[in-house]
Structure 1
């Protein structure tokens, strides 16, 4: 047992926001916080993974960044590499692809190493709960601390033993596991997830009810993303620490240049 003040001292970093270069988030009190589970929901191909990679890459606009262990179960290293190259150099994805095809990537490799070494990647498909725990233990053994941020991309790819036939319960148990992981490690845990039903195309504003599997009770923060061309709308549908609107009608504008990996808002 411990008093509230003892608990607060022991978990001093809990609730601390991670670094973000998106001014619209910072100015409106929309933060992904350490010790909490946050969720980003969108349709396939809408740019949610790229947005999170950009936030982690740039941090506080290059002045400070957060260490991260990123479980990219849904996207392979070739795609992640191209995005990292665009973020590190400002090159277009087409230019990066040409350099890769011509085996002329030395300058890109160096730029990625200089700007993204704080992010550790794991591309195992369908990692289990125990696998995630083992990887975190290995991370702590290597670096002497847990990562400040843990990303699970996507939620549906986290394997929950015994729940194979029940998607809703599997997603629910996955959320509970990630919430507990955030509390135990003190890390900000970000789960990327898909929209459901009529919102799967990713172009319409997604309300809280549009979250696939309706697993909205556990996360502290839920953002839903809708994108049309370079116009991205980030709806704050749940925010325990600030303003939110379940309808999705309160949204923050982000200019999303997916060709260069630039997200400005």
Structure 2
């Protein structure tokens, strides 16, 4: 699966929320965010504390109140800033060695941070070959592999639906499913995150991105949830 959005839209939080709420064994390659950022976000997601409060507690090491919540989530992070394919394979094999099985969910955040032979001069070069590799890894391990990615210039403001053609680097041939995220501008009501299924080999999709679902977005507490759950 490929999830594409403009900067600041919330694609990393979207993926992290998926991992935390699903509670399935997860290996998260967090090349784009450091440990402090991910732990702070995780505390906010699990407790609905304000982000500022979560950050203060993480900095102070005051996590006794959330220790049980954190330890019940079967997620491991890899914080290599520019992982290679060998790094990814090694982490997967190590996970299997430690736990006796591969993770059910693998997140690559984001795909342009992965270092390949073709990406030395251009971070978008070789993306299709990389997608082929990750697709094969998903088939061989049975994991759901979610890769985060960027969009083209006209859609970086994140305010309008993003079509399949708005995904950067022509990488959409390989993934089974492609989602694009945007933040609709609304005069009334709370903030929402728009999720467009622009490619779906197993079901309904709208390449224009205009057919989208809305999720409630509460930035102060790092909350993304179904609107009906509000």
Cα displacement string for residues 13-71 of structure 1 (whole angstroms, at most 9, x for unaligned residues): xxxxxxxxxxxxxxxxxxxxxxxxx0000011111111111121112xxxxx3111000
For structure 1, the 5+ residue unaligned runs are 1-37, 60-64
Distance 1:164 1:110, change over 3 A: same
Give the TM-score normalised by structure 2.
Answer: 0.91
Distance 1:131 1:98, change over 3 A: closer
1:45 matched to which residue of 2? 8
| Separation of aligned partners in 1, 2:173 and 2:25 | 27
5 Å-filtered alignment, 1:134-213, equals 134-213=90-169
- Structure 1 residue 57 and structure 2 residue 20: aligned? yes
Match of 1:4 in 2: none
Q: CA deviation at 1:103?
A: 4.3
Task: Summarize the Cα distance change of 1:183–1:101 in structure 2 as closer, same or farther, 3 Å threshold.
Answer: closer
Q: 2:84 is matched with which residue?
A: 128
**DSSP-derived class of the 1:214 partner:** coil
2:204 and 2:175 map into 1 onto residues whose CA distance is 15
Alignment of 1:230-241 (within 5 A): 230-241=191-202
Question: Is the contact made by 2:6 and 2:156 (CA closer than 8 Å) also made in structure 1?
Answer: yes
CA distance in 2, matches of 1:165, 1:96: 38
Q: Return the offset for 1:110.
A: 3.8
**Partner SS, residue 169 of structure 2:** helix
Cα distance in 1 between the residues matched to 2:70 and 2:202? 34
Provide, for residues 212-254 of structure 1, a one-character-per-residue CA deviation record: whole Å limited to 9, x for no partner.
1121100000000001472211011001111101100110011
Tell me how large the CA RMSD over aligned residues is.
1.5
| Conservation of the 8 A alpha-carbon contact between 1:167 and 1:213 | no
Q: Structure 2: any 5+ residue segments left out of the alignment?
A: 186-190
Structure 1, residues 82-124: CA drift from partner, whole Å, max 9, x if none? 111112222111221233454433223343223x2x1111000
